[in-house]
Amino acid sequence: MARKKQSLLNGALILTVSMAITEVLGLLYKIPLTNIIGTVGKAYYSSAYNLFIPIYSISLAGLPVAISRTVSSYAALGRYRDVRRARLVGQKIFVITGVVGTVLSLALAYPYAASINRPQTIWAMLIISPAVFFCCLMSSYRGYFNGLRNMTPQAVSEVIESAAKMVLGILFAQAVKQYGLMRAAQGKSVFGMAVTPDMTQEDVLLNIYPISAAAAILGVTIGTVLATAYLALLYKKKGDGITVQELRVAPPPESPKAMTKALLAIALPIVAGTLIFNITNFIDSWSIQNRLDYAVRGGGDVIYNMFRSSIDAAGYAGKSEVWPTYLYGAYEIAVDFKNMIPTVTTVLGISAIPVLAEAWTLKDEKNIKTSIETVLRMTMLISLPAGLGMAAIAKHILRLMYYGSASWSSADISSTVMIGYGATVFIIAVSQPMMNLLQTIGRADIPVKSIAVGAVLKVVVNFLLVGIPSINIYGAIIGTVICYAVSGVINFIMLRKYSGVKISLVSIFLKPLLCAGVTDVSAFFIQKVLAAAMASAGLLTEGGRFNNDTVAAIAAVACAVVIYVLLLFITRSIRENDIKMLPKGEKIAKVLAKLKLLR
C-alpha cells in the first residue's frame, strides 16, 4: 500500500464521509428496528448497550489513541522500526484487553439485568459480549493506520460494520417477532409464556420484545467480526506502505518492554478518563431506570396525567409496571438522534491526533495552533446548526421516521427530549475532540479529572431529578448538560494554558452561534409560511407521514443549508487555512479568494 499522508481535514473528510454513510445506515437500521421492537423493546436493546459501552469504549477511545499518537510521533522522526514494533506490541495489549473485557461483560450480565428489574435483558447482554473482543482487535488496526495518517481503512471498516449490523439486525429481529406472533396465533407458548384466549397482542409482544432485541444485537456482534476480518486481510495483503529503504535507515527499535511501558503510559490516563465517564454513564443509566420505577410508584397519577395521550395510544393505560420501561425507551429514541451530531464531530478529534502529534513532536507552533483552532471551529460550525435544527423540527423528524408504528405513540415525549438536547448538543459535541487534543499534547490527565467532576454531578443531578414525578425522564437531560458543560469549561481553560494557543471565542463560538441562530430563525419562518401556503392550497392532508408541516419543514431545512453556508462566508467564519486542508483545498481557496469570500 503506497503511503500518502492525509491532512487533518482531508483525513477528517474521509472519516466524515464514512460517518455520513454509517449514520444513514444507522437510520435505516434504527428506524425499522424500533418499529419492529417498539418503544419497550428499545429499552431492552439500549440496556444491553449500557453494559457493553463502558468496556467497548476502551477499545475505541483509549488504546487506539495511544497507538495513533505513538506511531505518528515515531514516523515524524523516521523511526519506522519502532512504528512496526508499536503495532505488534499494541496488538498484544488489545487482545488481552478484549479477552478480559468479554469475560467481564459475561460476568456482569445477570447481576445488571436483575438490578434494573428487567431480567429479560440478559439475552441481549450475553449475545453482545463477544463483540468486545473483536472491537479491541479491530481498533488495534484502526489506531495503527490512523497513526500513519491513513484514515481510509477505518472509514471502510466502519461502513462494513454498520451495513452488516443493519441488514442482519433487522432480519433477525423481524424473524423472531414473526415467529413469536405465529406461535401465539396457533395458541402455542411464546418463548416460555403460555398463551391464553384473554391475552391481547400487546401482552404477547411484551414477551417477544426482549428476544427480538437480542436477535438485533446479534447483528451488531457479527458486524464487528466482519469489520475486523476486513482490516486483518487488508494489512496482510497490502501492508502499511513503509518501504524497505525507510526500515534500513531507521535506528534500532526500542525493546518490547520499553515500548509496552511507553504505550501504557499514554493509554492508561486516557483509558482511566474513558472508564470514569462510561462507568458513570452506566451507573447513571442504571439509576435513571431505577428512579423512574421510584417516580412511578410514588407519583403514578402525575406521570399518567403528563403522558396520558402517549400511554393510552401505546395500550399501557392500566399497566403502570411497564411505564418506566416505556419512558426510558422514549428517551433512548431521542438519544439516537442526539448522538448523531457528536458522532460526526468526533472524527475531527480522531483525525487531529496524528497531525497534532507530529506538530507537537517537531515543536511546530504554527501547525499546533492551526490544528487546534481548526478542530474546535469546525466542531462548532457543524454542531450548532445541526443541534438547533434538530430542536426546531424534532416532531417532524419523528413523524417521518416512526409515524404509523408502535413507537409513534411516544413521539411527544421523545420530541421534547430532542428539543432539550438539540439546544445544548454543541456542549456535548466539542467534548471528545477537546479531550483528544489534550491527550495528544501529553495532558491526558486533565480530561480524566474534568470528566470525573462532571460525571459525579451528572449522577447526583439525575438521581435527584428523575425521581421527582413531575420531572421524571426530563431530569436526565439536565444532568447530561451539566456534566459536559463543567467538563468542557475545565478542558478549554487547560487546553489554552498548556498548548500555548490563544483560542479566540469570537472565531470558535460566537460567529458560528450567530450564523446558526440567524439560520434557525430564518428556517422557522420559512417553514411556517410554506406550511400555511400549502394548507391554503389544500395540497396535503393533516394526517399521515407527509403532511403540510412535515413537507414544509423538509423544504425549510434545504433553504437553511444554503442560508448557513452564505452566512459563513459573509461573516468570515471560515478561514483560508480551513479550506486549504481540504482535498484540492489550494484550488478551492483561490476561487473563493477571487470571489472575496476568504480573508
pLDDT digit string, tens, across residues 43-101:
888 877 776 766 666 655 567 777 877 888 888 788 888 888 888 888 888 888 888 88
* pLDDT tens for each residue of 257-296: 888 887 777 777 767 766 666 666 677 777 888 889 889 9
Q: Which helix (H) or strand (E) holds 410?
A: none
* pLDDT band per the 50, 70, 90 thresholds, residue 105: confident
* pLDDT tens for each residue of 397-420: 888 888 877 778 888 999 999 999
List beta partners, residue 193: 190
Determine phi and psi for 212, rounding to 5 degrees: -65, -40
Query: Which of 38-47, 403-412, 562-571 tops mean pLDDT?
Result: 562-571
Question: Which stretch of 100-114, 127-141, 222-236, 555-569 has the lowest confidence by average pLDDT?
Answer: 100-114
Q: Answer whether 551's CB lies under 8 Å from 400's CB.
A: no
Q: Of 580, 553, 572, 158, give the one whose Cα is nearest residue 381.
A: 572
Q: Of 315, 77, 354, give the one whose Cα is nearest residue 201.
A: 315
User: Please, which residues have CB within 8 angstroms of residue 65's CB and are 6 or more apart in sequence?
Assistant: 143, 266, 267, 270, 353, 436, 439, 440
* pLDDT band per the 50, 70, 90 thresholds, residue 171: very high
pLDDT over threshold 90, residue 585:
no
Query: Which of 74-78, 103-107, 233-237 tops mean pLDDT?
Result: 233-237
Rounded Cα–Cα distance for residues 18 and 151 (Å): 10
* pLDDT band per the 50, 70, 90 thresholds, residue 9: low
User: Please, which residues have CB within 8 angstroms of residue 453's CB and are 6 or more apart in sequence?
Assistant: 486, 487, 490
pLDDT over threshold 70, residue 202:
yes
pLDDT over threshold 70, residue 457:
yes
pLDDT over threshold 80, residue 509:
yes
Q: Of 174, 121, 125, give the one whose Cα is nearest residue 405.
A: 174
User: Please, which residues have CB within 8 angstroms of residue 86's CB and are 6 or more apart in sequence?
Assistant: 67, 70, 71, 74, 144, 147, 259, 263
pLDDT over threshold 90, residue 230:
yes
- Residue 132: the pLDDT is 85
pTM of the model as a whole: 0.69
- Residue 6: the pLDDT is 52
* pLDDT tens for each residue of 173-195: 999 999 988 888 888 888 878 87
- Residue 319: the pLDDT is 85
Q: Where are the alpha helices (DSSP H) in 500-584?
A: 505, 511-537, 548-570, 576-580
User: Please, which residues have CB within 8 angstroms of residue 423's CB and are 6 or more apart in sequence?
Assistant: 387, 388, 391
Question: Which stretch of 8-12, 13-17, 119-123, 524-528 has the lowest confidence by average pLDDT?
Answer: 8-12
- Residue 13: the pLDDT is 61
- Residue 436: the pLDDT is 81
pLDDT over threshold 90, residue 474:
yes
Q: What is the rounded average pLDDT for all residues in the chain?
A: 82
- Residue 375: the pLDDT is 83
- Residue 241: the pLDDT is 76
Quote the cell numbers at residue 44: 431492552
